Amino acid sequence: MRTVMYVLAISVLLAMVSCTSNGQIFQDNNGGPIVPPPGNNPGGTTNPLTAQINLSTDIGHAPLPVNMFGLVSGGAAPFTYRWDVNGDGFFEHGGVGVSEIGINYASFGTYTIVLEVVDNGGQSFITSAQVDVKPSGPIPQPTAFPSQGNAPLMVALDGSTSTDPDGSIVLYEWDFESDGIWDYESATNSSTTNTYNQGTYNATLRVTDDDGFESEASVLIVAL
């Protein structure tokens, strides 16, 4: 009896050792460990799994919202999707059936998106795509005081509340009458004055940021 029990204990121990794995462990969206299968389409299946990433956009200025769609061909459902949205080697999002996600890229840069799809039969397929996020442009905010009054009307034009989300503004320009002629420019001072004769005008402020991007906005002025 002791010999039989000893043999059973050894068999259980060997079975436990044979089930262990030294492979890299990934975390799914529920925090549980998942051992990834060994490479794309193992086993020479007659119904190979393939996948690709479709993006709502792959280029734009920050902040850039991007919708990602994992398209699968072949394999056996259900499919598990794991998403690495910035190419850092970690799957930040995913789970069974999570074929679509949306990410808002707040900072400029080139991001590599990696998608791993695993099917019900143990096949896996890894594919990637890139998103190029450009620096955001400056935001002009022109003001005029007074914006209405009797002619000749002296108006103080100011753009000091203009901002650049990812840098600084390096040039302020004013077109007093929006006639295509830039009447005033300064690298440091956003404010100036102009006197208007009777009429209705749009004073346009153009700002340029340290990345070379320009933006314009106008303010209405009425001289009675």
Q: What is the DSSP string of 197-224?
A: -SEEEEEEEEEEETTS-EEEEEEEEEE-
Q: What is the rounded CA–CA span in Å between residue 174 and residue 8?
A: 89
pTM above threshold 0.85: no
pLDDT tens, residue by residue, 19-76: 322 223 233 333 333 344 445 655 455 788 899 999 999 998 888 999 999 999 999 9
Mean pLDDT for the stretch of residues 102-128: 91
Q: Is the peptide bond before 135 cis (omega within 30 degrees of 0)?
A: no
Confidence band of 119 (pLDDT split at 50, 70, 90): very high
Closest to 210 in 3D by CA, of 187, 185, 183: 187
User: Which pLDDT value is given to residue 172?
Assistant: 98
State the span(s) of the chain assigned CATH 2.60.40.10. Answer: 25-134, 143-223
Q: Smallest Cα–Cα separation from 202: which of 185, 183, 181, 221? A: 221
> Is the CATH number of domain 25-134 2.60.40.10?
yes
pLDDT value at position 171?
Answer: 97
> pLDDT digit string (tens) for 151-201?
999 999 999 999 988 789 999 999 999 999 999 999 999 999 999 999 999
Mean per-residue pLDDT over the chain, rounded: 82
pLDDT of 4 > 60? The answer is no
For residues 198 and 205, the answer to whether their CB atoms sit within 8 Å is no
114: left (phi over 0), alpha (psi -120 to 50) or beta: beta
CATH number for the domain running over 143-223: 2.60.40.10
> Which pLDDT score, from 0 to 100, does residue 170 have?
97
Residue 24 pLDDT? 30
Residue 108: its pLDDT value, please? 85
Task: Find the range with the poorest average confidence among 5-9, 117-121, 167-171.
Answer: 5-9
